[in-house]
Structure 1
């Protein structure tokens, strides 16, 4: 079973770094105010003020910044400032020796899926949740509260309305997942995680429907769907289409492949690139129940 980092307590030191896209001073100032409101001491990494084209500094700066926080025994959590692209460019150059000696929470989503999978492959839990650059987004208050609850060791249970594509059933397994594009891109790398016996959750943003189908084909062909304990489908925001329509929605595409198997499937889960992006603890054993009344996801 994956190792759970210690829950946060008031006056703990936490760090914000950007492993991918650049961020603004205004975004970080708002995030720091919120974290201080949680009674945390905040350290801003060098990458939160650096710029290298679209990145928060070049690869070496971002790697060095994250490495420093991984190594620091007094840093109890690392918040990845935002996603975009860039984490996979540095992940193989990281040394997790200090992290293993002093495990800490790492939180983020989107491009940070790479870190979540890498940590789970190592045997550690992490938190898929809202990131500092949108901590104060309108409509995201509940998502931010769920992140707070996850970090401070409070109970999390989610109830979601029924969806017509849902497949009923109940099963348990460790949670794994995140951004579909990243999950597909990690296949065959050092960050690739087995999915058998686990509950997989997926989400994505601004992807062409044809690409979503291509990625689902890839996951299916590589056996990632075959022995799942369950599938949780989050937001597929701003999906794109070609001049000649693909002919299916993102959810219908996913159902085409999920329906080949017998595990429970829940659509419309509030996770992904929208204000409703509830915190999920990657690696934590969970129970998924899908019925005509809706979906419940709770930790075992």
Structure 2
């Protein structure tokens, strides 16, 4: 399936910051707004910012209404999701993408925003899995933020990653698909589910129990998501949890156990996920992966 890329941003374009999931205040977003303005962008803070409904950026209807408005507004050239958390799956089926399909724009985020990344890919549109405004000024995130800027403005993006003992050598070419492992499992069988055959899958997660990571990898295998992969990027699995009786494997070892049943190249410790190094990946764009003794290199076709 050929995917559509939105037009690159240009100086003077309007972008909107929205909260599809957890809440974020204007005070928390002020530094990100200033940075985006320094890129020459005009920033609109959506209705879902600076409000709270328990942990959410407003109730479901408010968040849906705000995102729908920004999707439909032709003046808005990108939606930047302020933060993840939880909540996007609650509203995704109430969003109408018909106007978006006629005039695609960039949508960027990660973690819970995997829902939007995958839903757009299912509709045939590229989006950005990358650092979000609330984290722009996290210590050590400068490279990640610059990779987001380059992706938004259509500048070349390529990554080289150090060797890892669990890497499997090889080359692969395919569209990028993936995101948060928990969300990928949650989306299976829904309108936001995307095929992985012939694609390069990337996965990451945070705060998950080791047995749960294994269970989710079993799920990927049983649903055929691993069977015909072109390649696999294993990102950060931050702050893994364990039971009183240790599980006995690291997240990378768990994942490699399932990857070893196939022959696609695998790159571990790829800089994507819930760490300051969270480099922008363009979901749906064809990429070329090389894994060898020098490490892993990812470039776009």
Tell me which residue corresponds to 1:212: 213
Conserved in 1, the CA contact under 8 Å of 2:25 and 2:51?
Answer: no
**Residues in 2 aligned to 1:241 and 1:22: alpha-carbon distance in whole angstroms:** 29
User: 1:27-70 CA deviation, whole Å, 9 max, x = no partner?
Assistant: 21111101001110000001111100010000000000000000
Tell me which residue corresponds to 1:47: 48
Q: TM-score, normalised by structure 2?
A: 0.99
Runs (4+) off by over 3 Å = none
**Residues in 2 aligned to 1:199 and 1:43: alpha-carbon distance in whole angstroms:** 34
Q: TM-score, normalised by structure 1?
A: 0.99
Tell me which residue corresponds to 1:282: 283
User: Is 1:92 matched with 2:93?
Assistant: yes
User: 1:183-234 CA deviation, whole Å, 9 max, x = no partner?
Assistant: 0110000000000000000000000001000000000000000000000000
Equivalent runs, 1:49-68 vs 2, <5 Å: 49-68=50-69
Q: CA deviation at 1:108?
A: 0.2
Aligned-residue Cα RMSD (Å) equals 0.5
Tell me which residue corresponds to 2:273: 272
Q: CA deviation at 1:25?
A: 2.3
Tell me which residue corresponds to 2:228: 227
Across the two proteins, how many residue pairs are aligned to each other? Answer: 300
User: Is 1:239 matched with 2:244?
Assistant: no
Q: CA deviation at 1:24?
A: 2.3
Unaligned runs of 5+ in 2: none
SS of structure 1 residue aligned to 2:48: helix
Tell me which residue corresponds to 1:29: 30
Unaligned runs of 5+ in 1: none
Conserved in 2, the CA contact under 8 Å of 1:172 and 1:285?
Answer: yes
Conserved in 2, the CA contact under 8 Å of 1:27 and 1:134?
Answer: no
**Residues in 2 aligned to 1:201 and 1:111: alpha-carbon distance in whole angstroms:** 15
Conserved in 2, the CA contact under 8 Å of 1:73 and 1:98?
Answer: no
